[in-house]
């Protein structure tokens, strides 16, 4: 996985981010906007919980028989004139893509925003092979022009406001109108003019996919601007890099996920453009289609009975927008292409142990807002606690987390622990390695526990 060199672990990176008041203001404004929009379109659906439950089950079913669905997808895509490649890791995927671009005789590719290609560091690998990758999504373009890093899954330039974007365009975009205003419409028009020539001249495009339907071999890309359609339609060769967890069984399943995703992502009933294609179509679109199926740590996550829930993720980023930690630190502090709550459980599993990844399961207050917002019901707090027990950290903490997981997984154990906690609370100071925590805090001592109150309350 693409490691951001020189990134400190989360607590240190977060401290730096918290010192940037402009960043916090930008994030607060943007996440507040999207939370309001999402709440409004979700409230329109009185069957939202049923949709979420269906979404969860669809992804679980796909993962439970992943080998079968991948083979079905491969057969369908091949039958429709596409070529399917398999990549064990990032290096292998990058080599495959670079080889295909070279075989097409191209030195430049246009790209649709894709988390998978960011994860494997494709742009850097292509650059090393002498191939220029041009990002075409507006936010990705802002990030690329600013020699910056993405800070949000859906809106990678969320950390920049309109005035900052105008300055960047005036500085970095060749031939841009020097009187460009910071009106978002004007900024979008500038991006349109800047990329038009590249779209019309491009011979090779690289994309990801939001979904791959095993039953039909359809690849699906969900977008807003039309840059995706440009890349999927105009070039001669299309290469799609898709994580193996993106496969879903049927078209009926797709209908569920296409209702969950836009409402959760941009707070819209539907996003402006969704493209569905199957292999190649004579006379319409690329004459060559390559699908690169990527593992890169996904099978490691799949082997973990709790951690595998993260593979249900459809990359909507609703969990980022509701997270009190993300809203204050922004995405960069997570040191990963997958920031926020989902990043905190995905990164350690995909990337394997390192100081940044190991710090991420702690980048949370376990408040649970992410779980409530997730359209496929990933219990992120549960996975965070589970991963805290797995990543490297001081033995005392590890033992405490294991003990907590053991106690909380069975109601009778929890009941005993509650009683013990109430007795123990009278000590007011925790013993041993936990003493430092209580030195600065009072251990809360409610008169009765919630459960006791619940059991004893008068029922109507």
Partner 1 sequence: MPVNARDEVLRRVRAAIGPRREHVDVPRDYRRAAPDGTDVVALFAERVADYRADVRLVGWDVAAEVRRVVRDLGIRSLAVPVGFPADYLTGLEDGLDGVGVELRRDDPPLSTADLDATDAVITECAAAIAETGTLVLGAAQGRRALTLVPDRHLCVVRADRVVGAVPEVPEVPMPVTWISGPSATSDIELHRVEGVHGPRTLVVLVVTGS
Q: Which of residues 298-317 bind partner 1 (CB under 8 A)?
A: 299-300, 302-303, 308
Binding range to partner 1, per CB under 8 A, among 30-38, 126-134, 414-422, 438-446: 30-38
Binding range to partner 1, per CB under 8 A, among 50-58, 204-212, 345-353, 429-437: 50-58
Please pick, from the candidates 23, 97, 244, 323, the single residue that binds partner 1 as defined by CB under 8 A: 244
Residue 73 CB, shortest distance to partner 1, in Å, is 12
Please pick, from the candidates 23, 42, 66, 153, the single residue that binds partner 1 as defined by CB under 8 A: 66
| Sign of CA pseudo-dihedral 18, 354, 208, 69 | negative
Measure the CA–CA gap between 282 and 119, rounded to whole angstroms.
Answer: 32
| Sign of CA pseudo-dihedral 417, 418, 421, 426 | negative
Whichever of 232 and 385 has its CB closer to partner 1, that residue is: 232
Residues numbered 154-183 forming contacts with partner 1, rule: CB under 8 A: 155, 157-158, 161-162, 165
SS3 (DSSP) at 238:
strand
Residue 18 CB, shortest distance to partner 1, in Å, is 21
Helices 251-265 and 48-64, packing angle to 10 deg: 120
Residues numbered 248-267 forming contacts with partner 1, rule: CB under 8 A: 251-253, 255-256, 258-259, 266
Site string for partner 1, 117-136 (x = CB under 8 A): -------------------x
Measure the CA–CA gap between 114 and 360, rounded to whole angstroms.
Answer: 22
Token pair belonging to 281: 């179509």
CB 110 within 8 A of CB 234: no
Residues numbered 69-108 forming contacts with partner 1, rule: CB under 8 A: 70-71, 85-88, 92
Pairing outcome for strands 237-243 and 204-207: parallel
Whichever of 58 and 122 has its CB closer to partner 1, that residue is: 58
> Is 242 near partner 1 (CB under 8 A)?
no
Binding range to partner 1, per CB under 8 A, among 13-21, 41-49, 172-180, 338-346: 41-49
> Is 403 near partner 1 (CB under 8 A)?
no
Residues numbered 192-221 forming contacts with partner 1, rule: CB under 8 A: 192, 195-196, 199-200, 216, 218
Residues numbered 262-291 forming contacts with partner 1, rule: CB under 8 A: 266, 268-278, 281, 283-285
What 8-state DSSP symbol labels residue 8?
P
The CA R_g of the chain, rounded to the nearest whole Å, is 24
Residue 430 CB burial class (10 angstroms; 0-12, 13-18, ≥19) = middle
What 8-state DSSP symbol labels residue 295?
-
Residue 451 CB, shortest distance to partner 1, in Å, is 30
> Is 53 near partner 1 (CB under 8 A)?
yes
CB 63 within 8 A of CB 311: yes
Residues numbered 336-375 forming contacts with partner 1, rule: CB under 8 A: none
> Is 189 near partner 1 (CB under 8 A)?
yes
Whichever of 165 and 357 has its CB closer to partner 1, that residue is: 165
Residues numbered 321-340 forming contacts with partner 1, rule: CB under 8 A: none
Token pair belonging to 41: 């379109």
Please pick, from the candidates 119, 135, 288, 295, the single residue that binds partner 1 as defined by CB under 8 A: 295
Say how many residues touch partner 1, by CB under 8 A.
Answer: 93
Residue 300 CB, shortest distance to partner 1, in Å, is 8
Residue 199 CB, shortest distance to partner 1, in Å, is 7
Whichever of 133 and 238 has its CB closer to partner 1, that residue is: 238
> Is 137 near partner 1 (CB under 8 A)?
yes
Report CA-CA distances (Å) from 424 to 24, 90, 115, 254, 417.
40, 50, 47, 52, 10
> Is 236 near partner 1 (CB under 8 A)?
no
Report CA-CA distances (Å) from 248 to 63, 68, 134, 369.
9, 11, 29, 26
Residue where the block lists tokens 């330039």? 157
Q: Which residues of 103-142 are buried (b: 16+ CB within 10 A; e: fewer)?
A: ebebeebbbbbbbbbbbbbbbebbeeeebebbbbbbbbbb
Residue 429 CB, shortest distance to partner 1, in Å, is 45
What is the helix (H) or strand (E) element at residue 190, kind and residue range?
Answer: helix 184-201
């Amino acid at each position: 996985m693409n490691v951001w060199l020189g990134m400190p672990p989360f607590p240190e990176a977060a401290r730096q981010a918290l010192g940037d008041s402009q960043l916090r203001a930008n994030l607060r404004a943007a996440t507040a906007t999207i939370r309001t929009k999402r709440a409004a379109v979700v409230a329109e659906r009185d069957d939202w919980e049923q949709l979420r439950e269906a979404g969860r089950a669809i992804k679980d079913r796909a993962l439970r028989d992943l080998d079968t669905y991948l083979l079905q997808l491969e057969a369908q895509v091949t039958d429709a004139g596409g070529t399917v490649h398999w990549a064990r890791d990032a290096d292998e995927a990058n080599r495959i893509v670079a080889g295909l671009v070279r075989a097409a005789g191209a030195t430049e590719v246009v790209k649709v925003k894709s988390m998978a290609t960011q994860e494997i560091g494709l742009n850097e690998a292509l650059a090393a092979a002498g191939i220029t990758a041009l990002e075409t999504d507006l936010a990705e373009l802002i990030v690329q022009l600013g020699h910056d890093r993405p800070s949000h899954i859906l809106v990678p330039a969320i950390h920049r406001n309109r005035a900052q974007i105008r300055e960047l365009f005036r500085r970095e975009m060749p031939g841009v109108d020097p009187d460009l205003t910071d009106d978002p419409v004007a900024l979008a028009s500038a991006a349109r003019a800047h990329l038009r020539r590249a779209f019309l001249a491009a011979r090779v495009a690289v994309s990801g996919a939001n979904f791959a339907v095993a039953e039909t071999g359809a690849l699906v890309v969900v977008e807003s601007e039309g840059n995706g359609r440009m890349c999927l339609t105009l070039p001669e060769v299309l290469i799609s890099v898709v994580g193996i967890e993106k496969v879903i069984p049927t078209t009926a399943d797709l209908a569920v996920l296409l209702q969950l995703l836009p409402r959760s992502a941009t707070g819209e009933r539907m996003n402006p453009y969704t493209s569905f294609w199957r292999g190649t179509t004579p006379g319409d679109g690329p004459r060559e289609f390559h699908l690169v199926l990527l593992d890169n740590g996904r099978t490691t996550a799949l082997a973990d009975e709790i951690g595998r829930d993260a593979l249900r993720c459809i990359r909507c980023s609703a969990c980022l927008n509701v997270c009190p930690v993300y809203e204050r630190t922004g995405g960069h502090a997570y040191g990963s292409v997958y920031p926020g709550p989902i990043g905190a459980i995905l990164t350690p599993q995909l990337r394997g142990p390192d100081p940044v990844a190991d710090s991420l399961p702690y980048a949370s207050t376990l408040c649970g807002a992410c779980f409530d917002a997730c359209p496929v019901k990933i219990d992120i707090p549960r996975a965070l606690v589970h991963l805290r027990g797995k990543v490297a950290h001081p033995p005392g903490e590890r033992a405490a987390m294991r003990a907590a997981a053991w106690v909380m997984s069975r109601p009778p154990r929890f009941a005993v622990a509650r009683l013990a906690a109430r007795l123990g609370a009278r000590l007011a100071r925790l013993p041993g390695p936990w003493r430092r925590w209580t030195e600065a805090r009072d251990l809360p001592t409610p008169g009765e526990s919630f459960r006791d109150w619940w059991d004893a309350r008068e029922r109507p």
